[in-house]
Amino acid sequence: MEQMNNFFIHYFNVLLDYSPKVISAIIILFVGIWGIRFIRKIAETVMTKRELEPTLIKFLLDFLIWALRILLFVSVISKLGIETSSFVAILGAIGLAVGLSLQGSLSNFAGGVLIILFKPFKVGDTIEAQSENGKVLGIQIFSTKILTAQNQIIYIPNGLLSNGKIKNFSQKTTRRTSLVVPTGYDSDIKNIKIKLEALVKNHPKVLQTPAPEVVISDMGEKNLIFSLRAWTYNADYGTVCSELLEESSKIVKVTTS
Distance, in Å, from the CA atom of 255 to the CA atom of 4, rounded to the nearest integer, reads 116
pLDDT, the chain, mean: 81
Q: Return the SS3 of 30.
A: helix
Q: What percent of the chain has pLDDT over 90?
A: 20
Confidence bin at 207 (pLDDT 50/70/90)? very high
Q: What pLDDT was estimated at residue 5?
A: 57
Burial (0-12, 13-18, 19+ Cβ within 10 Å), 20: exposed
Domains of the chain: 2-101 (1.10.287.1260), 118-168 (2.30.30.60), 174-256 (3.30.70.100)
Q: What pLDDT was estimated at residue 152?
A: 93
pLDDT tens digits for range 6-24? 555 555 555 556 667 777 7
Tell whether the model's pLDDT for residue 153 goes beyond 90: yes
The values of phi and psi at residue 142, to 5°, are -105, -20
CA-to-CA dists, residue 250 to 143, 183, 237, 257, angstroms: 45, 11, 20, 11
pLDDT tens digits for range 88-134? 666 666 665 655 554 556 778 778 878 877 888 888 899 999 889 99
